[in-house]
Every structure is written in C-alpha cells, then in structure tokens.
Structure 1
Amino acid sequence: MATSQPLQLYPAWLNLKGQKVLLAGGGQVALRRATTLLSHRARLRVAAPEVLPLFERWEAEKRIQLFRRVFKESDLDGARLAFACTDDPQVNQQIVNSALSMGIWVESCTRAEGANLYPGGVIHSGSIALAISSMGKSPIVTQALRECFEEVFGADWGDEIDQLISEAGDEGGSHRISPEELKRKVRESVFMQVKRWGERKTTS
C-alpha cells in the first residue's frame, strides 16, 4: 500500500499591488485576510450576504468592491488569487473548484479539497519579513511560532538590520563592508536579540 507523500510547499513573495483578488466571506477570518490584502494594496472584491461593519466602511471609502450576496463564479473573473473564507464548507469547496478550473490560486479556511494556496505566518519589521509555515498542517502551530518570534525579536529589530544594509552599500558592487562582515554583523544582531529575550524572561 502506497503511503502519501508529505506536502511540499514552495515559498514565494507576491507583489499584489493593483492585482484583483476575490475574498468570499464577511466574518472574522475573512476580515483578517482582507486587512492583510489591503495592506499589500490588492484590488479586493468581497462577496458575502452578511459582513462585519469594517467591510462596509471600506466599501464607503472605495477601498473594496462589495457584493452583499453569496458567491457567484463570475466573481472570479480577472482575479489572480481567491480566498474561500465562508462558514459553509460546501460553498468553500465550490469556490475552490471554480478557481482551479480557471487557473486561479485559491485558499480555503475549511481546507476544501484541492486548495493550493496556504498563507503562512509573517513577521514584519522594517524591510525584513520572516515567513513561517507548517506546510498546511496546523494554522495554530504557525500562529504560535509567529507569536514566539515576535516576542523574541521585537518590533524594531528590522530597523537595526536596515541600518546594517545601509552601511553595507548597494548591490551593484560598491560595498563599504564585505559580504562576510555583513553576514557576521547580522548573525550578531540575531543572537543578541535572543540573548536579550532570555535575560528578560529570567528577570520577569
């Protein structure tokens, strides 16, 4: 009997500025997705019979296109990504099936069969972003790891790394410090953050 192979996901960073994205659902899960997508300047289309008040405010501000009804396949027209975040697994499966038939990458919050998009946890600080994934196995574990890394590194750690990048010079070859020296300083910064976190934990 053949054993199933573990899921191997390819990590990638997407530039969603100006890209059409469909979000089906108007609850808390959909709201979290919408907040992230808008922060990345996606052109967001939302379809849901009922939505939280913030969606209505975004519509009034013309930040989203809102359809107060159930999902229709035509909602996917022109979309690059789709997010099935309704509270109905059957509807989410319908969205996944439709998106896949149109060659659109799609996530399902209810793990509908065939979904091929798995947003992970992300930590942003300065121009540094760290992505965390459990390969689709456990969103709870991904969230816990993200919270741990946020606690260890803090909100301003990326600014320190940005300063090192600035000191190092540009990528065109005009280096003020060598690549090896830059790597050493980055490693020192990382280990110092871990050390400081450990000291805070022992004194608290």
Structure 2
Amino acid sequence: MLLAGGGQVALRRATTLLSHRARLRVAAPEVLPLFERWEAEKRIQLFRRVFKESDLDGARLAFACTDDPQVNQQIVNSALSMGIWVESCTRAEGANLYPGGVIHSGSIALAISSMGKSPIVTQALRECFEEVFGADWGDEIDQLISEAGDEGGSHRISPEELKRKVRESVFMQVKRWGERKTTS
C-alpha cells in the first residue's frame, strides 16, 4: 500500500490505515514527526523523496495525499494504468477509491460518504456527528443491545421497542448537544 504525502491529510489517512494493521510505504520529501517515529518503530517504510512511479510496484492501493494537485493526478493516472485502486485527496475525478468518513464508538460504526464528490463535505459531516454525539454515544447503544437480548430469538424486548429506544437515545444526544451550544 502506498501513501504519497507527509502532511496533515496524509497523517490522518496513515493513522486510519495503521489502525487496521496496513503495511504502508510512504513517499514524501518532508514529513510530520509522527511519520519519523513510525519509521523508527518499523510500522512504515519511509522514502524521503517525491513520488516515483516505481513506488507503486507491488501496491494494491494508493493514496495521493500530497499538497500538489498535479502530483496527485500523476499518482492517480499511474495507479489506474497499473490496475491499482487509488484515492486522491485533492480531486476525486479519475480516482476509483472513495473512502468515506467513519465514526467509531463502542461496537457501532457510522460511515459517511459523498461518493467522491466532495471529501471536504464528508470530513465536515464526520466532524459534526463527532461533535454532536461525543466519544461515548456507542456505549449507550451497546447497553440497549445488551438489554434487548441476543439475535438467536430470546429477545427481552421487541424489535420495535429496541428501535424506539435507539431513536430516543439518538434524539437525546442531539438535544444535549443543543443545550451545550446554547449555554456556551
């Protein structure tokens, strides 16, 4: 897997990929300090230089996250010609991979995507949901799941009641957020 870029956008993408134990090669002339630490810990392979097409050799996925749209387009074109899935962090047109924003809490994950039309909108929506729901909202949903019983048929509450309680929990989170916003 290739990640081209060493700035904030590349760092966010690398953090997500490494959390899923990706084997990551990073190509960038300059990188943030965390990339250097990951290299020292042997979590990434770091090439301190601009992207070269040969960086894609053996890759199945590529992420064009440089601050130069022309370089990102070069990466997209090269990856596509080699049959590699590729995301561009500056322009979705032409790329064939559109990772959305994912919010995790407890055992719940919410995915948000603009289908590649606007990564900025996807990011803004993810940030809004994170602000509204906070870090622990999934724990409350997990508790409801526990109270409801297992999927094997021994429900302690009906599916309709579970849906009602989940909706109530979500709306309460939104209400609490609104109250925090009006008092701050």
The TM-score range, normalised by the shorter chain, is 0.7 to 0.9
- Identify if the C-alpha distance between structure 1 residues 106 and 189 changes in structure 2 by more than 3 Å, giving closer, same or farther: same
- TM-aligned CA distance change 1:162 to 1:69, over 3 Å: same
TM superposition shift of 1:133: 2.6
* Distance in 2 (alpha carbons) for counterparts of 1:172 and 1:64: 42
Paired residues in the alignment total: 184
**1:14 corresponds to:** none
User: What 5-or-longer segments of structure 2 have no aligned partner?
Assistant: none
Give the whole-Å Cα distance in 2 for the aligned partners of 1:30 and 1:144.
Answer: 17
* C-alpha distance in 2 between matches for 1:186 and 1:69: 50
C-alpha distance in 2 between matches for 1:90 and 1:195:
45
- CA distance 1:180–1:22, change in 2 (3 Å): same
Give percent identity, aligned residues only. Answer: 99
Give how far 1:84 is off. 0.7
- TM-align CA RMSD: 2.1
Cα contact 2:10–2:65 (8 A) shared by 1: yes
TM-score with structure 1 setting the length: 0.79
Kindly provide the CA deviation profile for residues 85-141 of structure 1, in whole angstroms up to 9, marking residues without a partner as x: 123333222211222123222111221641122222222211212222333333333
Higher helix share: 2
In structure 1, the gaps of 5 or more residues are 1-20
Deviations 1:54-96 (A, max 9, x none): 1111011011111222323332233332101123333222211
Whole-angstrom distance in 1 between the partners of 2:81 and 2:142: 42
Name the TM-score, length of structure 2 as normaliser. 0.87
Greater alpha carbon shift after TM alignment, 112-121 vs 149-158 = 112-121
Deviations 1:14-71 (A, max 9, x none): xxxxxxx210111222112111211222111111222222111101101111122232
Q: 1:140 to 1:92 in 2, by over 3 A?
A: closer
| CA distance in 2: counterparts of 1:133 and 1:166, whole angstroms | 29
